[in-house]
Amino acid sequence: MLELDSPPSATAPASRVPLDRYARWAGLAVGILATRWLLPLNNGEGALYAILTFGLCAVAGVLLGDVLTAPRRGAVRTAGLTPRRVRDYVPPRMTVLLLGLAAALIVLLITAASVASRDDLGRAGRAFTVTCGGVTHSHTPWPGLYYGLPVLASLALSTAACGWSLRRIATRPGDEQSRRDRALAIVAAWGLVVSSALFGVASTVSGALMSTTCDGAAGVVGNWTVWPLGLLALLTAPWCLFTIVSPRATVWLGRRSGTSGTGRR
């Protein structure tokens, strides 16, 4: 596709600008309400589904705002021969970090599922069980398949939706800075899903490992693996949330990374 760029127009529909912000806030508000409704659920399911639902609502709000906001167009447009690519508009360092967190989340879920066992009611993939000294210790909840599949489903759904939206932003008309700002918001929304899910899974694994003293060296290694992941996810989630709710976050990041309204060189 040819690159069609235009400078921001003073006659751009300013009434459309708040729609994006309101849609983002509405998505977060719905997520908070859903979280309050889901948290009281028993057996650890409430916290899991609350985290996933909040992240998906944030993604839905950002995507809705992007759909409702028309691209800014100038009076004079120039055409270039360089095709626009999604990777030209996403924040490179943060995208690499989030991809790494997503990969860590998938590996952690696969590992947890491979060692999961049945709980005291015979339900598969919901407990962590170890035996030492002739005594069996079991802890639940544990992110086996029962809890892990919803996490993977939400990750797949948010990835597909955000990927489609990023592709749409890169190919539709508009100015360069607007594309970068909107791509940043979408990456942040996806990052909120990834980081919140990773924090929940890492916390669950750590809680189960710390509840027993007979997991040996494997338990120690497991804890020292999930603790840094949980901490990194805990630090990443607020940045993603701040980027979603604050329009100034895009300006700050753009100045820090040296980007402007012109294309990257």
Residue-level pLDDT at 39: 83
Q: Which residues of the chain have pLDDT under 70?
A: 1-17, 42-44, 70-83, 173-174, 215-216, 247-265
Residue 88 lies in a domain: yes
What is the structure's pLDDT at 265?
36
pLDDT at residue 8 in the model = 43
Q: Does 265 reside within a domain?
A: no
The pLDDT assigned to 123 comes to: 75
Residue 250: DSSP 8-state? H
| Domain contains 243 | yes
In a domain, 62, yes or no: yes
The pLDDT of residue 172? 73
Instruction: Give the integer Cα–Cα distance in Å for 141 and 127.
Output: 6
What whole-number distance in Å separates Cα of residue 200 and Cα of residue 47?
Answer: 8
Does residue 39 fall inside a structural domain?
A: yes
Phi and psi for 116 in degrees, rounded to 5? -70, 155
pLDDT at residue 255 in the model: 43
Strands (E), the chain: 3-5, 78-80, 128-132, 135-139
The whole domain housing 213 covers 3-257
* Domain-located, residue 263: no
Phi-psi category of 59—alpha, beta or left, where left has phi over 0 and alpha has psi -120 to 50?
alpha
Q: Total domain count for the chain?
A: 1
Q: Would you state the pLDDT for residue 10?
A: 41
77 within some domain: yes
